[in-house]
């Protein structure tokens, strides 16, 4: 694995290897790599959790993280993304994590540089590290994916999480359904009635209502959305035993999920955050150390 | 001490322990802690000196400082401060320093998380690390607090420094007076004539005129303020022998203090900056290492 | 060398010593200094490459880099640059790199503090680290400076690169010519016809058209500028054998240079970026370690 751009590029074996390595890191701790590497987190869109999760993983791996500020970068002087990245490569970076508002921004870059690229989210496209931490959390909690009923509820068409996860979960043998207002379904077949899905879902994965992408043009209030498409306190009571609630966060409390459910016993929301650090450390290790990586040899030892 | 939120929470013994520890660090140097800790400085308001002072103290202690940018954080996506902090806790941070425009922002957070919180200033509320470095500088220069006459002059009602310091100084046995335009006194009894206080004060502590909190509604020009309420060159000549000038900075030269006095022999302004690093290192040590802290056992050895 | 402010301050011997040291670092690698130093990069204007180049050099030297954000600094509270720097000195910094929009900002500061200052660009003034990396790249590629024909083309009057480089190149024995629209020549004698210079130049050094400094008042379109003053594909074909193309970047593709030439075999553009890290490491070493510097003793071993 040279870059991590989209869940579509990963085979089942590659996914398994990353999840296994993250489980090892969670059990035994993240340790500094033997070599010094330089990386940078290029976030052209706001982010707290993804960026800080990478920052923590990088420090635990002993990497040097070179700060980058999109607002004061040469991008504001009209430099192309390719030229910015070539510059960073010549300055000596080994890998960059990029979040960028343009879907598929990386298509112009792939194959043109040696520096590795990890996609931290591209517009309404993919968000593979989020997807892998979601898979990790499902596997850790429910033991596997085959035959699981996964419901993804919310703003499907704008969500890179929905797309990344659906791709991967289906590949891994889960049944994925979508619930959302019809106008937010995009190309996905969806339902809009919780009664069709709440009793049978093993995983209820909620998506954030992205107010900032709708320009105030939503046809319902927050209260109406919560009542019709959110996970209310009443609906949670109908969930099957052992089923779990997930959300990529940040959460809009009392919109997509009742505020009182955020830290309920079914909720994996903060466990997802915790697991994100292990997943990102596993990915950085894999990409920076490539073939010479010792753990790949031992990746037959599955942790779950 | 689990958190440091307000000077009101600290006993005289706790204050003494921190001042003593800072004196040790100033004499023998700040050394890296035996364990690795992760911290972050969450500044939701502009700051140079407080933030950079913490950054330097953190590096001297060997901590890993995870960068946080308020402008591009999830707070702009409507996440609550509680959810942001829970996220940072799950990501693996051991402590955060927070500056926030809302007075008492920490009241909703205390007791709900394991991660330690150090208050770096809350609106017009408290600023305990500034207060402790002021106390340190007074004790270092004048030997103690009992019976000292301390004058605090300036924008009392908007100043977290005034409130933090008044609380602590009175507790430690000093006499505190205030000088300011009547409309800036808030609940404090104040004088507005320098002649009543200039001859007897051991410490003249000036506060910054916070133009940004007055929206241009000040009833005097800078020159008028300086003439009536500032420390002019003439007034400094009337100060008693051995008395000192303090200011939390940044300074408005020729407003609250004559520019030529900023680095005069009485002025402790840059000594306060220097001492701030030792105080912050002492606080971080205390909070991160809690009870197991070796120096607490030896805290009977007072340095002053 | 205590500070690095302007190419005018450097003797030929000092320039040679820095170029030689950078060549050593490029050959043998940059290693951590034996002592810990604290530095900060104070960029009051946008920058990717200069700032990140310093950040990488600093980490390779094992320095601690204290983050500074101009937008949220005390400068916005009206603090003078002198007071900000005195504060950073008291906080414990050993050196600062400053980029500032005001030409000659450093004149008020020199001689007033112990902390070293490295000029990272002052308004339309000087940019000595860029100049030194340009000299390094010329010497590395062409072997020296004596008798070289160097053409500097573009926005001369606004360019700190043009001024820094012209000063140094003439001092080192090169012939420097300028090509630009007459209104951009400032005090420099210039030509505006490529035919006068393209056949004889050993170095064609292009400057960025600084749209942001012209407020949209340019009298030609990008296409017109490219046609008349840019390095077109046709003009590159007329360049003499072995001659090189340079540009401080960021590049406006198809304005000052045809996009297809940015990575052509004559182009040193990305080599300049790479060399910048070695030059900045050499400067930081020299300034932080001053006289006690071991390599100065061995600087007679010239690498070129």
Sign of torsion over alpha carbons B32, B38, B43, B46 = positive
Task: Note whether residue A1 is domain-resident.
Answer: no
Residues A111 and A26 in one domain: yes
ipTM field: 0.90
CB pair distance less than 8 Å for C212 and A40: no
Tell me whether residues B92 and A56 touch, CB distance under 8 A: yes
* A117 and A85 assigned to the same domain: yes
If asked whether residues A280 and A255 sit together in one domain, one would say: no
A148 and A260 in a single domain? The answer is: yes
Alpha helices in A92-183 (DSSP H): 128-142, 160-171
Q: What is the DSSP annotation of chain B?
A: ---B--GGG--HHHHHHHHHHHHHHHHH-----SS--EEEEEESS--SHHHHHHHHHHHHTT-EE----GGGSGGGGT--HHHHHHHHHHHT-SEEEEEESSTTGGGGTTTS-SSEEEEEEETTS--HHHHHHHHHHHHHHHS--TT-EEEEES-GGG-HHHHHHHHHHHHTT-EEEEE--GGG-TTS--B--GGGTTTT-SEEEE----HHHHTT--SS-HHHHHHHHSB-HHHHHTSPTT-EEE--S---BTTTB-GGGTTSTTB-HHHHHHHHHHHHHHHHHHHHHGGG-HHHHTTTS---
Inside any domain, residue B138: yes
Is C252 a domain residue?
yes
- Residue B179's pLDDT is 96
In whole angstroms, give the CA distance from residue B137 to residue B299. Answer: 19
Dist. CA A76–CA A88, nearest whole Å: 16
Tell me which of C35, C92, C93, C108 to substitute to probe the interface with B (most B C-beta atoms closer than 10 Å): C92
Contact B52, C96 (CB under 8 A): no
In a shared domain, residues C12 and C107: yes
| A265 found inside a domain | yes
Q: From chain A, pick out residues whose CB is under 8 angstroms from the CB of B64.
A: 59
In this predicted model, what pLDDT tens digit does every residue of B174-223 receive, in sequence order?
Answer: 999 999 999 888 888 899 999 999 999 999 999 998 776 666 667 788 99
Instruction: Note whether A152 and A202 are same-domain residues.
Output: yes
Q: Which chains touch A (3 or more CB pairs under 8 A)?
A: B, C
CATH number of the CATH domain containing A26: 3.40.50.1370
**C259 and C155 share one domain:** yes
pLDDT tier at A7, thresholds 50, 70, 90: very high
Residues of B within 8 A of A71 (CB-CB) are 71
Residue C303 lies in a domain: no
The tokens describing C175, both together, are: 């012939």
Chain A residue numbers touching B38 (CB-CB < 8 A): 56, 59
Say yes or no: C158 and C220 in one domain.
yes
What element of type H or E holds C294? helix C294-297
The three-class DSSP label of residue A213 is helix
Cβ pair C251:A92 closer than 8 A: no
- What is the pLDDT averaged over residues A104-128? 93
Q: What tens digit of pLDDT does each residue of B222-265 get?
A: 999 999 999 999 999 999 999 999 999 999 999 999 999 999 99
Boundaries of domain holding C69? 7-126+273-297
> Considering the domain boundaries, does residue B304 fall inside one?
no
Q: What is the pLDDT of residues C105-119, one digit of tens each?
A: 999 999 999 999 999
Residues 136-175 of C with CB under 8 A from B: none
| Residue B204 in domain | yes
Report the range of poorest mean pLDDT among A76-90, A212-226, C21-35: A212-226
pLDDT at residue number B296: 39
* Residue B293 clears pLDDT 50, i.e. is over it: no
CA of A147 vs chain B CAs: smallest distance (Å): 30
Contact A66 C48 (CB under 8 A): no
Contact present, C179 and C188 (Cβ < 8 Å): no
Distance CA A174, CA B134 (A): 62
Asked if A49 reaches chain B (Cβ–Cβ under 8 Å), the answer is yes
Other CB atoms within a 10 A radius of the CB of residue A193 amount to 10
For the ranges A77-81, A288-292, C259-263, C277-281, the lowest mean pLDDT is seen at: A288-292
pLDDT higher than 90, residue A104:
yes
- Count up the domains in chain B and report the number: 2
B189 inside 8 A of chain A by CB: no
Q: With cut-offs at 50, 70 and 90, classify the pLDDT of residue B290.
A: confident
pLDDT at position C210: 78
Across all residues in chain B, what is the average pLDDT?
A: 90
Query: Which tops the pLDDT comparison, A22 or A124?
Result: A22
With cut-offs at 50, 70 and 90, classify the pLDDT of residue B78: confident
Mean pLDDT across the stretch A251-256? 94
Rounded mean pLDDT, A218-227 = 89
Which residues of B are part of a known binding site for L-aspartate? 77, 160, 208
My answer on whether B109 and B148 are in the same domain is no
Residue A141 pLDDT exceeds 70: yes
Nearest CA to CA, how far is B33 from chain A (Å)?
Answer: 16
Q: Any CB–CB contact under 8 A between A212 and chain B? A: yes
For tokens 């200033």, name the residue: B121
Q: Are residues C109 and C184 in the same domain?
A: no
Is B2 a member of any domain?
A: no
Kindly state the percentage of chain C with pLDDT values over 70.
91
Least CB-CB distance to A53: which of B83, B86, B91? B91
Contact C91 B273 (CB under 8 A): yes
8 Å CB contact of C212 and A77: yes
- In this prediction, residue A211 carries a pLDDT of 72
DSSP state of A195: G
Enumerate the β-bridge partners of residue B95. B39, B116
CB atoms B250 and C83 under 8 Å: yes
Return the pLDDT at A216: 62
Query: What pLDDT was estimated at residue B291?
Result: 44
Q: How high is the pLDDT of residue C293?
A: 40
Q: Which of A139-148, B131-140, C219-228 has the lowest mean pLDDT?
A: C219-228
Q: By the 8 A CB rule, do B269 and B12 touch?
A: no
pLDDT tens, per residue, chain C with 304 residues:
899 999 999 999 999 999 999 999 999 999 999 999 999 999 998 888 999 999 999 999 999 999 998 876 666 677 889 999 999 999 999 999 999 999 999 999 999 999 999 999 998 889 999 999 999 999 999 999 999 999 999 988 888 888 889 889 999 999 999 999 998 888 888 999 999 999 999 999 999 987 766 666 678 899 999 999 999 999 999 999 999 999 999 999 999 999 999 999 999 999 999 999 999 999 999 999 974 443 433 443 443 3
B230 and B245 inside one domain: yes
Q: How confident is the model at residue A280 (pLDDT cuts 50, 70, 90)?
A: very high
- Which chain C residues are within 8 Å of B53, Cβ to Cβ? 91
Are A283 and A202 in a shared domain? no
- Give B267 to chain C, closest Cα distance, Å: 14
pLDDT at C267: 98
Q: Does B108 touch chain A (CB under 8 A)?
A: no
- Give the pLDDT score at B300: 38
For residue A157, name the pLDDT band (cuts at 50, 70, 90): confident
In angstroms, the CA A124 to CA A160 distance is 5
Q: What is the pLDDT of residues C57-99, one digit of tens each?
A: 999 999 999 999 887 666 667 788 999 999 999 999 999 999 9
3-state secondary structure of A273: helix
How would residue B76 be classed by pLDDT, with cut points 50, 70 and 90?
A: low
B68 near A CB under 8 A: yes
C-beta separation of A152 from A207 below 8 A: yes
Cα–Cα dist A181/A192, whole Å:
6
The pLDDT tens digits for B107-122 are 999 999 999 999 999 9
């Amino acid at each position: 694995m040279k870059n991590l751009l989209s869940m579509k590029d990963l085979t089942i074996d590659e996914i398994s290897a990353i999840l296994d390595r993250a489980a090892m890191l969670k059990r035994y701790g993240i340790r500094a790599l033997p070599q010094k590497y330089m990386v940078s987190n290029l976030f052209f869109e706001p982010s707290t959790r993804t960026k800080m999760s990478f920052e923590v993983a990088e420090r635990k791996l002993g990497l040097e993280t070179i700060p980058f500020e999109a607002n004061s970068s040469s991008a504001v002087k009209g430099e192309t993304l390719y030229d910015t990245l070539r510059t960073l490569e010549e300055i000596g970076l080994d890998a960059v994590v990029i979040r960028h508002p343009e879907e598929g921004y990386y298509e112009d870059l792939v194959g043109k540089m040696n520096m590795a690229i990890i996609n931290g989210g591209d517009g309404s496209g993919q968000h593979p590290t989020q997807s892998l931490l979601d898979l990790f959390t499902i596997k850790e909690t429910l033991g596997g994916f085959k035959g699981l009923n996964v419901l993804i509820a919310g703003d499907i068409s704008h969500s890179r999480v929905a797309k990344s996860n659906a791709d991967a979960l289906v590949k891994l043998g889960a049944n994925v359904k979508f619930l959302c207002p019809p106008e937010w379904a995009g190309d996905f077949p969806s339902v809009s009635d919780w009664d069709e899905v709440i009793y049978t879902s093993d995983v209820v994965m909620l998506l954030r209502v992205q107010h900032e992408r709708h320009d105030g043009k939503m046809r319902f209030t927050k209260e109406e959305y919560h009542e019709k498409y959110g996970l209310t306190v009443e609906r949670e009571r109908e969930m099957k035993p052992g089923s779990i609630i997930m959300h990529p966060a940040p959460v809009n409390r009392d919109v997509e999920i009742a505020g009182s459910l955020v830290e309920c016993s079914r909720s994996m929301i903060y466990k997802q955050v915790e697991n994100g650090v292990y997943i990102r450390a596993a990915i950085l290790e894999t990409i920076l150390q490539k073939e010479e990586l010792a753990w790949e040899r031992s990746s037959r030892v599955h942790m779950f």
